[in-house]
Structure 1
Amino acid sequence: MTKTSNKGFSTINPATEKEIQHYDYMTEEDALKAVNNCDKAYQDWRLKSLDHRAEIVKSIGEELKKVKDDNAKLMTQEMGKLVKQSHEEIELCIGICEYTATEGRKKLEDEVRTMENGGKGIIQQAPLGVIYGIQPWNFPLYQAIRYAIVNLMAGNGVLLKHAKNVTGSALMLKKVFEDAGLPKNLFTVLIIDHDTSDKIIEHKLVRGVTLTGSSKAGEYIAQKAGKALKKTVLELGSNDAYLVLEDADVDLAVKTSVFGRTYNNGETCVAAKRFVVVDKVYDQFKEAFVKGMSQINHGDPMDKDSKLGPVARKDLRDKLHNQVEESVNKGAEVLCGGTIPDTKGYYYPSTVLGNVKPGQPAYDDELFGPVASLIKAKDDQDAMRIANDSRFGLGGGIFSKDEDKAIQLAKNHFHTGMININSYGLAHPNMPFGGIKDSGYGREHGGFGITEFVNTKAIMLNNS
């Protein structure tokens, strides 16, 4: 008997705590049928020329421009980001479409090589099949766009299981894709529970799985996919360290660090989270940083004067506050913030914790919200040691007036996938994105993500 699910859920506006929309889960039967339909669409799509695929991908970017305001408003309602930052997210998505349709597609062109026997070899980046993406809520459109667009360009079919609280954004994206000319069912949104999701991973027509989420979720998905011999790309959590060295421009470091910790309400995998400051400039940085974080007012994310919106869900705010309290109980001190405001909405103030040491969540774990961990280092070498004293390895940063020194530290001593020097940034369409250690594996963007789920096929013609 086919398993069915009558359970459903509602999306909640984290700023008002009011219901936005109710959704029912798909039955297992309907979900498996959707996989089959996606594969049927893929069978036609994989034979389309690169030029044709690029034209559709470019059209998706143009369609995003047309409905930018509606998309931005919905994202803000569903997860609480400042509406200005919702617009910035959509601009990034448009940039990904444009880059993939031009520079990205070059990675898929056939390569011809001369063989030792005088024959000829052709290397084709052939589509792999249906790719299943499990994505989080913090960037409702970008998280889906960044894996979907490159895989559509590569000729694959795409399934999306989005976080429940941004289901409306997922469905709106599906409409954008189809209004731009993408064949029906080629990009499919699955509104399913975890049990059905496991069935999708096991499905014989699904040839790859990509997840953005926690390290714990990554372990689970990797095991499930590995047992079914499916390739995975995992972009997991982190507690990125930003180093303020002896020769840093402290004013620049403070300004950049406040922005890097509070952007997107602090709910970013590559947010600046641990601030490792050498003794020589520690007091100067601390005073200015705490002042800057204290001035970040939280409020209605639709209000242009607000600098910080709510945490996306109540359970996430509770977890964040529990991590703060546990850190304090283990010796950390609250330099600003740290108290849940008595107001409607899941708000949490911009917070700085001092005296952060190993054994505290503020040092060891990822705090997914506007909470900064301030750590003193003896010198530049000690700062680098502290930065690498982490099970994570996604991103990080270095502040130093000596760019050559900072580059050498980044290249030879910083054990992460991405490093910013005298700056903070989220993602760039032309640069690889991803991490190492417990932050996952595989890369997206920069032409690298477009070949994660392809069959690199060797066709050999002998000269005999």
Structure 2
Amino acid sequence: MTFTPSRSTGHNGKQHADRLAYRSVNPATGQLVAEYATATDAEVEAAVAAADTAFHQWRAVPVEERAAVAARVGDLFAARVEELAAIATEEMGKPISEARGEVEFCAEIFAYFAAQGPTLAADQPITASAGGQAVIQKRPVGVLLGIMPWNYPFYQVARFVAPNLVLGNTMVLKHAESCPRSALALQQLLDDAGVPAGAYTTLFASHDQIAQVIADPRVQGVSLTGSERAGAAVAEIAGRNLKKVVLELGGSDPYIVLDTDDVTASAQAAFTTRMGNTGQACNSNKRMIVSSEIYDEFVTELTRQANTLIPGDPAADTPGTYAPLSSRAAAEGLVAQIRAAVEAGATLHAGGKLLEGPGAYLAPAVLTGITPDMAAYHQELFGPVAVVYKVENDEDALALANDTPYGLGGAVFSTDPARARRVAEGLEAGMAVVNAAEAEGAEMPFGGVKRSGYGRELGPLGMDEFVNKRLLYIND
């Protein structure tokens, strides 16, 4: 079920201009592809009512049957890789190879929860000191609201939907205003997989309407992936209405290189990681913290890497090119952050320039000399910017890594795994990895601490958020 009442393509549709907030714009060209009207208040009410009705039916379906539906969703993701990837590439500029990888990961996520969900949701007996039988049961809680971002238009939805679909919850999904075609493609996929009407509903709602949905007594929880500002606003409304919230917000993840046998290879790996999704990933390595012994050579190689890239068509994904950011506005905002840092004394070694024209191409940048008195030290730079810091020892590296309002993830590299682990153990983050850029997999919990949010998605913990952990005690 989806609520998208009006649609126009090209630059027409003036009659709906006041309601056409959902717009699909190709960031490589700046061209408007399609636009859709926001839902009416009546349609919002109908979506919530349908989800509530579906919940009372869906929760009664045996978990094995719900898991079978999730498995079919995964199969369809695998079958529609090219179709979905093309939409993501055109809609938010993701390189086509990365878009394919995102869709394939969605297939893995649904397959994981289809296979493991019934076990993860099974009753857990506990020993009762007074005798009798005690069991912790995992039961669905009801209607959930998902508020999803544009940077991973399929993956972010998949990690919210898959576990909750198996648990027996039903969902109303508000996607980013810039990804309506991705949202509709997801709705069609879930419908085709046999997800019951009302169990998953795409809603092109306004911010005011979303506030009303959060407050609705039929809605039992909210999951948001997005900015700190959005997270704070949603959490405030949810708190007033006593609703459970899961928040995955910003990040400024440290990427600590203590030592290496090959500085060039290490710098290339760090740069490749930073350029993933054109730098638009919450858990990207936004702060590279490098030992003084290898710092100069590391920065030189990063600079060389950045200078070799030229703008390219993300649909062609030609080697040696970089893709656009998600929008011209996003690129302009990042340029302003870079400019402010340079004006405050930072050094720009490469890139940082916005190409002329309607596209959203920002030349990959390398920045050093960021100090605590600069705004960039505390901000998240959401795009292709490698910020590099020099440290003298492990203690300084850890102190710098933790000197941030964020706490999503962090990585530590060393030829001595024990040394790297000692530093990683001290990271104030929801995810810490050693000698790898990230720990990625459907079975790996994802989430952060501090201003990066709270709650977890994926893995065993992904089924532990929106669930009634009910005690059943039988006195025998």
Pairing partner for 1:7 from 7, 10, 19: 19
1:349 aligned residue: 363
2:380 and 2:275 map into 1 onto residues whose CA distance is 14
Pairing partner for 2:457 from 440, 444, 463: 444
2:310 and 2:411 map into 1 onto residues whose CA distance is 25
2:393 and 2:306 map into 1 onto residues whose CA distance is 25
Pick which of 418-427 and 202-211 moved more. 418-427
Alignment of 1:80 onto 2:96: no
1:62 deviation in Å? 0.4
Confirm or deny: 8 A CA contact 1:249 1:401 kept in the other structure.
Answer: no
Give the SS at the match of 1:21: strand
Pairing partner for 1:363 from 374, 377, 383: 377
Pairing partner for 2:467 from 454, 457, 464: 454
1:59 deviation in Å? 0.5
- Alignment-mate amino acid for residue 7 of structure 1: R
Give the SS at the match of 2:77: helix
2:355 and 2:32 map into 1 onto residues whose CA distance is 21
1:459 and 1:137 map into 2 onto residues whose CA distance is 41
Mapping of residues 57-456 of structure 1, within 5 Å = 57-247=70-260, 249-305=262-318, 307-411=321-425, 413-425=426-438, 427-456=440-469
Confirm or deny: 8 A CA contact 1:237 1:366 kept in the other structure.
Answer: yes
- Alignment-mate amino acid for residue 427 of structure 2: F
Structure 1 stretches of at least 4 aligned residues deviating more than 3 Å after TM superposition: 246-249
**Which consecutive residues of structure 1, in runs of 5 or more, have no partner in the other structure?**
none
Give the SS at the match of 2:184: helix
Confirm or deny: 8 A CA contact 1:154 1:451 kept in the other structure.
Answer: no
1:420 deviation in Å? 2.8
Confirm or deny: 8 A CA contact 2:332 2:354 kept in the other structure.
Answer: no
1:264 deviation in Å? 0.3
2:400 and 2:214 map into 1 onto residues whose CA distance is 38
1:449 deviation in Å? 1.2
1:296 deviation in Å? 3.0
- Alignment-mate amino acid for residue 75 of structure 2: E
Pairing partner for 1:19 from 6, 10, 32: 32
Confirm or deny: 8 A CA contact 1:276 1:374 kept in the other structure.
Answer: yes
- Alignment-mate amino acid for residue 156 of structure 2: Q
Change (3 A) 1:108 1:267: same
- Alignment-mate amino acid for residue 418 of structure 1: M
1:397 and 1:387 map into 2 onto residues whose CA distance is 10
1:405 deviation in Å? 1.6
Pick which of 40-49 and 336-345 moved more. 336-345
What are the Cα deviations for residues 152-175 of structure 1, in whole angstroms up to 9, with x where unaligned?
Answer: 111000111110111111111011
Confirm or deny: 8 A CA contact 1:246 1:379 kept in the other structure.
Answer: no
Tell me the C-alpha RMSD between the 2 structures.
1.5
Change (3 A) 1:390 1:108: same
1:426 deviation in Å? 6.7
1:423 deviation in Å? 2.1
Count of matched residue pairs: 459
Give the SS at the match of 2:431: coil
Pick which of 304-313 and 379-388 moved more. 304-313
Give the SS at the match of 2:407: coil
Pick which of 31-40 and 108-117 moved more. 108-117
Give the SS at the match of 2:171: strand
1:237 and 1:148 map into 2 onto residues whose CA distance is 21
- Alignment-mate amino acid for residue 204 of structure 2: I
2:443 and 2:456 map into 1 onto residues whose CA distance is 12
1:341 deviation in Å? 1.5
Change (3 A) 1:366 1:159: same
Give the SS at the match of 1:164: coil
TM-score, with structure 1 as normaliser? 0.96
Give the SS at the match of 2:35: strand
What are the Cα deviations for residues 193-237 of structure 1, in whole angstroms up to 9, with x where unaligned?
Answer: 100010000011100001111112111111110000000000010
Confirm or deny: 8 A CA contact 1:79 1:312 kept in the other structure.
Answer: yes
**Which consecutive residues of structure 2, in runs of 5 or more, have no partner in the other structure?**
6-15
Give the SS at the match of 1:138: coil
1:408 deviation in Å? 2.3
2:242 and 2:431 map into 1 onto residues whose CA distance is 29
1:296 and 1:39 map into 2 onto residues whose CA distance is 51
TM-score, with structure 2 as normaliser? 0.94
Change (3 A) 1:110 1:71: same
1:247 deviation in Å? 4.9
What are the Cα deviations for residues 301-358 of structure 1, in whole angstroms up to 9, with x where unaligned?
Answer: 0113154211111211111011001111111111000111124411101100111111
- Alignment-mate amino acid for residue 396 of structure 1: G
Confirm or deny: 8 A CA contact 1:247 1:402 kept in the other structure.
Answer: no
- Alignment-mate amino acid for residue 96 of structure 2: V
1:54 deviation in Å? 0.8
Give the SS at the match of 2:289: strand
1:221 and 1:390 map into 2 onto residues whose CA distance is 23
1:298 and 1:84 map into 2 onto residues whose CA distance is 16
1:248 deviation in Å? 6.0
What are the Cα deviations for residues 86-114 of structure 1, in whole angstroms up to 9, with x where unaligned?
Answer: 00001110110111111233110112234
Change (3 A) 1:73 1:247: closer
